[in-house]
Amino acid sequence: MNVLVKSATIVDPKSDFHNQTVDILIKKGLISEISKGIQNPKNYKEIKLDGLHVSQGWFDSSVSFGEPGLEERETIENGLKTAAYSGFTSVAVNSNTNPVIDSYADISFLKSKSANHAVNLLPIGALTKHSAGIDLAEMYDMTSAGAVAFYDYQKPIENPNLMKVALQYASNFGGLVCSFPQESKITGLGVMNENVTSTSLGLKGNPALAEELQIARDLFILEYTEGKLHIPTISTAKSVELIRAAKLKKLDVTCSVAIHNLMFTDDNLTSFETNFKVLPPLRTQNDVDALIDALKDGTIDMVTSDHNPLDIEHKKIEFDYATYGTIGLESAFGALNSIFTVKKAIELLTKGKERFKVKNAPISVGNEANLALFNPNETYRFSSENIISTSKNSMFLDQELKGIVHGIISNNQLILK
C-alpha cells in the first residue's frame, strides 16, 4: 500500500512533528517521508481532507462482539470494520460469546478469523472456565495462543481465594488478570445507581458501595500476591481514591473507565430508556467529576468504549429485564473530544497499549504507519446513520458530539469511510 497524506496536522507528543501540518508519504505500509509539500510523482493515492489530523492508531481495552454463537449481535468482520471506521487500530475483545472463549482453540479461532485485517484483534480469555467463577480457565495455554489478558466480562469473582490463586498463577508468565468491580451480594437486584433518582423512579438500586468493596478486597489480595491486576470500568469517586492509594503503595494495578460514565449520570434514566442501562451503572455528577479529574492526573490509566452490541430483543423490553450494555466505538472520539482538549482525547485513546501488549510507535520516518485519521473540529448530532454496528443500542443517540473520524491506516492497509 502506497499513500500520500496531504496537509495533515500530527497529534503525537512522541513525534518530532507534533502539532505540525505536514505531508506524510507511506510506502508499503512504512512511513518514508514527513515534510511539507511532498510531490507525488508515482501517482500514489492521495488523502486530502478538510481539517485533517492524524495520530497514532487508537486502542480500546474492552470491546464485545458476538461471534462465535451470537452473530446476530455482531460478527467479527463487521465489528472490526466498525472499529476501523471509528479510528481504532487495535481492540481487546472480551470472551462473552457462546461458547465462552476459555481455551487455546478458542483464542486461535479469534486470531484466525481476524487475520490479515487492518485492525488488530487482541483476544481476552475468560478467567474461569465458562466464566462460571468456579475453576480457573487454561490461562497459560491461552497466553501461548495469543491471549493478552483474562477476564470474566462483567462477572465478579466472588471467591476471594480464586482471585488470590489467579493472581499468583498468572504472575508465573506475566499474565494480566482483570476483575470486574462489583460485590454481587450488595448489588442484589439493583438495576441503576442507588440514589434519590432510583427511589423516585421506583427502580432497585445498585449502590456505589458494591463497587468499592470489591475493589478494596481485590487490592488487598493484590498486595498479598504481588500480582498484576487490571480493574475495568470503575465508576465512583471512592473507587478513584482506593486506586490512587494503591498506586502510592506501588502495587501493579491499572484501571479503566467507560466513556459513557464520563458523559451521563443517573438523571438520564428518568425516561426509562434501556440504552442507558449499563454495568457499572451511570452514577452521580460528583462521580463523573472525580473520574474526569482522575483521568487528568493519571490515576485512571485508560478509557474504553466498553462497546457491547445487543439485539433489539434484549433492549426493547421493560427496564428491569433489559440487558446491560451500549455500543460505543462509533461515538468514542466525538464524546471524549467534547469533554477534553484534542491532545488529551488522543492521549486517552492511545494509552493502555503497553498494558495489553500493543506496540506503541511514534509517527516517525521508518516506523510502520499505524494512524487514525480525523477532524477534531466538526460538531454533529449523533444519529442511527452514524452507527456501523449490526446492533443499534447506543446511549449516544441524539447527543451533540465534536469531531469526526475518517478511518485508519494500519497493517499496510487503508480504510476510509
Single out the residue of 333, 327, 341, 304 nearest to residue 407, CA to CA. Answer: 333
**Sequence ranges of the chain with CATH classification 3.20.20.140:** 58-356
User: What class is the 3-53+364-416 domain?
Assistant: mainly beta
Q: Does domain 58-356 have CATH number 3.20.20.140?
A: yes
Please give the helix or strand (H or E) that residue 33 lies within, else none: strand 30-35
Give 232's pLDDT tier (boundaries 50, 70, 90). Answer: very high
Residues of the chain with CATH 2.30.40.10: 3-53+364-416
pLDDT category of residue 408 using cuts at 50, 70 and 90: very high
Query: Do residues 137 and 150 lie in contact, with contact meaning Cβ atoms separated by under 8 Å?
Result: yes
List phi, psi (to 5°) of 178: -115, 135
Catalytic residue among 23, 306, 320, 398: 306
- The 10s digit of each residue's pLDDT in 365-374 is 999 999 999 9
Tell me whether residue 60 is one of the annotated catalytic residues. Answer: no
Give the model's pLDDT for residue 41: 78
286-332, pLDDT tens digit by residue?
Answer: 999 999 999 999 999 999 999 999 999 999 999 999 999 999 999 99
DSSP string, 282-329: P--HHHHHHHHHHHHHTSS-EEE--B----GGGTSS-GGGSPP-B--T
pTM over 0.75: yes
